Amino acid sequence: EPEVTQTPSHQVTQMGQEVILRCVPISNHLYFYWYRQILGQKVEFLVSFYNNEISEKSEIFDDQFSVERPDGSNFTLKIRSTKLEDSAMYFCASSGRFSNQPQHFGDGTRLSIL
Amino acid sequence: GESVGLHLPTLSVQEGDNSIINCAYSNSASDYFIWYKQESGKGPQFIIDIRSNMDKRQGQRVTVLLNKTVKHLSLQIAATQPGDSAVYFCAEMYSGGGADGLTFGKGTHLIIQP
C-alpha cells in the first residue's frame, strides 16, 4: 500500500538555526499538508499546498515557515530561525484528486530544539 | 468531558467487547469528517470517513455515526482486539473552501484489557 514517507525521523537543532523537514507524498496525490503535534496534545494544521502554491495556512504558519515542492516527488517544510516552542512532531499528509478525500499521514519527524 | 495537555480521556474495554468513542465537533459548516487511529510513535492512520449527507457509515468492524443536529460524531469498534489499543482522533473540515486543513479533536485513549 502506498504511503507518505518523512525524513529524518528525529532532528535535533540549536535554537536560531534553520531546519528543513522532508516528505515524499503518495505519488498520484495532488494535495499536500503539514501538521504539527506538541507532545500529548492534538494535531494542529499548519499549511496546505495545491497546484504549486499555498492554499490555506493557519495562524501558526508565520513568516518563519515556508513550504516548497522542489521536484515532482518531494515536499518540504522549512523553519528559518527555530524557537524552543517549535519542538514538536511534524506530520506531512497528502490526499488525492479532491480536497475532501482522506488525508494520509506519514509517521512524522520529531523536532527537538535545544 | 475532554481534557487538555497530557490528560487524554481514557476508555478501557475488555477484549472482545464493543467500544464507542465520542467526539463533539465545533464548526457547524463542517461537511467532512474522519476518524484516525494513532499508535505510539506513529502518524495518524485513516480509519473511516463520512460526509454530511450521511448519518451512518460502516467499515470492517467499525461504524461511524454523525448527528449534525448536536454536532456529534461517534466511532464504534466491534469485537475489540489488542491491536485496537491506541489514541483515536476525530477530525473535521469544510470541503468547500479548497485544500483546507483538518481540525482535530483532542483524542481518546482506548485501552483493550486482555
* Chain B partners within 8 Å of A50 (Cβ): 98-99
Pairing of strands B56-58, B108-113: unpaired
Across the A:B interface, residue pairs with CB atoms under 8 Å apart total 76
Would the pLDDT of B33 be above 90?
Answer: yes
Compute the distance between CA of residue B22 and CA of residue B38 in angstroms, rounded to an integer.
16
What pLDDT band is residue B1 in, cutting at 50, 70 and 90? very low
pLDDT of residue B7: 62
Higher pLDDT, B4 or B49: B49
Contact A102 B46 (CB under 8 A): yes
Residue in B75, B72, B44, B69 with CA at minimum distance from that of residue B57: B75
User: Looking at chain B, how many residues does it have?
Assistant: 114
Give CA–CA dist B24/B103, Å, rounded: 12
More confident residue, B50 or A1: B50
Q: Rounded to an integer, what distance in angstroms lies between the CA atom of residue A11 and that of residue A17?
A: 12
Helical segments of chain A, H only:
none
- Predicted local distance difference test score (pLDDT) of residue B2: 38
Choose among A35, A42, A93: nearest Cβ to B106.
A42
| Residue A25 in this model has a pLDDT that exceeds 60 | yes
Q: List pLDDT tens digits, range A56-100.
A: 999 999 999 999 998 888 999 999 999 999 999 999 999 987 777
Q: Which residues of A touch B104 (CB under 8 A)?
A: 42-45
Between chains, do B8 and A108 touch, taking CB under 8 Å as contact?
no
Q: Is B35 in CB contact (< 8 Å) with chain A?
A: no
Which chain A residue lies closest to B8 (C-alpha atoms)?
A40
DSSP state of B7: -
User: Across the interface, which of A31, A55, A107 has its CB nearest the CB of B43?
Assistant: A107
